[in-house]
A and B are shown apart, each in its own frame.
Chain A
């Protein structure tokens, strides 16, 4: 879940990292008052969750409060990336001598957070890493063991920063790393982190994302920031297909049919089980397949839930076949899922043998499940067929459809 910039700045501020004397408002007249309070040139920034604000005209510079009000009025009426702004942030134009980058992201491969630091800030860190790799340092750290300042110091020093700057930057990166862990974040980034003429540092912009599943652990913070419980805060609004997926999941307490995400391919996926969804999605793509969707089904869904999800996927325009695949299941029942997906095909007037490219769910109650699949002529695989091979088979069959 993403935070708006004004919320991310508040989190940074609470962590003890210096920030500018900014203000957030949804009202142009208040933008003028904030600019008056700041008492100098300001920057008016649209508060949207999508990127590309500057190019879209969502960031404007004002020399006086009247101009700040006018810019705020324009920006508040400006949709960016299909999103209406939540408000505007009125920020003093800081007199910065140098811009730095400080960030912490979750490394899903190492299963650890990693600090990233660069004395080249204000632009995408990916660009810096490509053009000046020696100016970017990375250092993994434990999210279980206590964090020590020296870890941050090492990361900063590795980029050639020394002396007073190193001393002043170390607590900032340390606090950023700690707030990342304490708030179950997946991204905590200050870019740019500005060095002022007096040698002090100040956060000029911040981006934060919290792990969706951790929202329940941070109810107080979210409430204080004014984040509504129903706000998804994704990069884009959910599509009608995705909303329908959520409704199917919510309609029955049994099992999970979650994270239904729309793509534009022709192979519908009913996938899940202990990380199996991601593995299978990647495997389908690795074999040249074009998934029509992503989803995570498991937790022993009812026939109705499996049926509902399969019907949703089968009804998506452009879907030619579905692949029903999971890693080996223990609590989810093979026969129940088999009933659900076959029922979906039949209720939509399809032949399950034709519409289900492959059914590869080994595990609990597989004997009964395989009897059902045989009865309807559906191609299935047991645990002797890897997820990778099953995904390849699904792609082969869908390519056969496309070639006809």
Chain B
């Protein structure tokens, strides 16, 4: 799944997005609430309106399996946060 803001886009592998435990971890990790869980406590959702609040802290990258979450800087020719 992918969601784009004006400055930041976030891509999450579908397998990870469907993992309820990982969804909860990502929702907990993000300081600006870019990630949430569906209301039934299941899959991952990307909160589109919070995307541009991303502070590039990498906490989501650390919380997910390597390469499963990608934070893309749209203002920097699509550079991926590493």
Interface, chain A (partner B; CB < 8 A): 302-304, 333, 336, 339, 342-343, 346, 368, 371-372, 375-376
Tell whether, in the assembled complex, residue A371 and residue B52 are in contact, meaning their CB atoms are under 8 Å apart.
Answer: no
| Bound: A333/B75 CA distance, A | 16
Tell whether, in the assembled complex, residue B6 and residue A304 are in contact, meaning their CB atoms are under 8 Å apart.
Answer: no
| Bound: A339/B74 CA distance, A | 12
Tell whether, in the assembled complex, residue A336 and residue B6 are in contact, meaning their CB atoms are under 8 Å apart.
Answer: no
Contact string against A for B residues 1-37, beta-carbon threshold 8 Å, 1 for contact and 0 otherwise: 0000011000000000000000000000000100000
Within 8 A of A (CB), among B33-82: 52-53, 55-56, 73, 75-76
Tell whether, in the assembled complex, residue B76 and residue A339 are in contact, meaning their CB atoms are under 8 Å apart.
Answer: no
Residues of B within 8 A of A371 (CB): 73, 75-76
11 contacts between A and B (CB under 8 A): A302-B32, A303-B52, A304-B53, A336-B53, A336-B55, A339-B6, A339-B52, A368-B73, A371-B73, A372-B75, A375-B76
Tell whether, in the assembled complex, residue A346 and residue B76 are in contact, meaning their CB atoms are under 8 Å apart.
Answer: no
Tell whether, in the assembled complex, residue A339 and residue B7 are in contact, meaning their CB atoms are under 8 Å apart.
Answer: yes
Q: How far is the CB of B9 from chain A (nearest CB, A)?
A: 14
| Bound: A342/B5 CA distance, A | 13
| Bound: A42/B60 CA distance, A | 74
Residues of B within 8 A of A333 (CB): 55
Using A336-B55, A343-B52, A371-B73 as known contacts, list a sample of 16 further A-B pairs with CB atoms less than 8 Å apart, ordered by residue number in A.
A302-B32, A302-B53, A304-B53, A333-B55, A336-B53, A339-B6, A339-B7, A339-B52, A342-B6, A343-B7, A368-B76, A371-B75, A371-B76, A372-B7, A375-B75, A375-B76
Residues of A within 8 A of B73 (CB): 368, 371
| Bound: A372/B75 CA distance, A | 6
Residues of B within 8 A of A343 (CB): 6-7, 52
Of chain A, the residue at the smallest CB distance from B51 is A303
Tell whether, in the assembled complex, residue B6 and residue A346 are in contact, meaning their CB atoms are under 8 Å apart.
Answer: yes
| Bound: A342/B52 CA distance, A | 11
In the A-B complex, the 9 residue pairs with the smallest Cβ-Cβ separation, listed nearest first, are A375-B75, A372-B75, A303-B52, A303-B53, A339-B7, A371-B76, A339-B52, A302-B53, A343-B6
Residues of A within 8 A of B32 (CB): 302
| Bound: A376/B75 CA distance, A | 9
Residues of B within 8 A of A336 (CB): 53, 55
| Bound: A346/B5 CA distance, A | 13
Tell whether, in the assembled complex, residue B53 and residue A368 are in contact, meaning their CB atoms are under 8 Å apart.
Answer: no
Q: How far is the CB of A75 from chain B (nearest CB, A)?
A: 53
Residues of A within 8 A of B76 (CB): 368, 371, 375
Residues of B within 8 A of A302 (CB): 32, 53
Of chain B, the residue at the smallest CB distance from A335 is B56
| Bound: A346/B7 CA distance, A | 12
| Bound: A336/B75 CA distance, A | 13
Q: How far is the CB of B17 from chain A (nearest CB, A)?
A: 24
Q: How far is the CB of A82 from chain B (nearest CB, A)?
A: 40
| Bound: A6/B50 CA distance, A | 50
Residues of A within 8 A of B7 (CB): 339, 343, 372
Residues of B within 8 A of A304 (CB): 53
Residues of B within 8 A of A339 (CB): 6-7, 52
Q: How far is the CB of A88 from chain B (nearest CB, A)?
A: 52
Q: How far is the CB of B23 from chain A (nearest CB, A)?
A: 24
- The winner among B52, B55, B75, B76 for most chain A CB atoms within 10 A is B75
Task: Given A343-B6, A346-B6, A375-B75, check contact A368 B52 (CB 8 Å).
Answer: no
| Bound: A336/B32 CA distance, A | 12
Of chain B, the residue at the smallest CB distance from A307 is B52
Residues of B within 8 A of A303 (CB): 52-53
| Bound: A303/B55 CA distance, A | 10
Q: How far is the CB of B5 from chain A (nearest CB, A)?
A: 9
| Bound: A368/B53 CA distance, A | 14
Residues of A within 8 A of B52 (CB): 303, 339, 343
Of chain A, the residue at the smallest CB distance from B53 is A303
| Bound: A343/B6 CA distance, A | 8
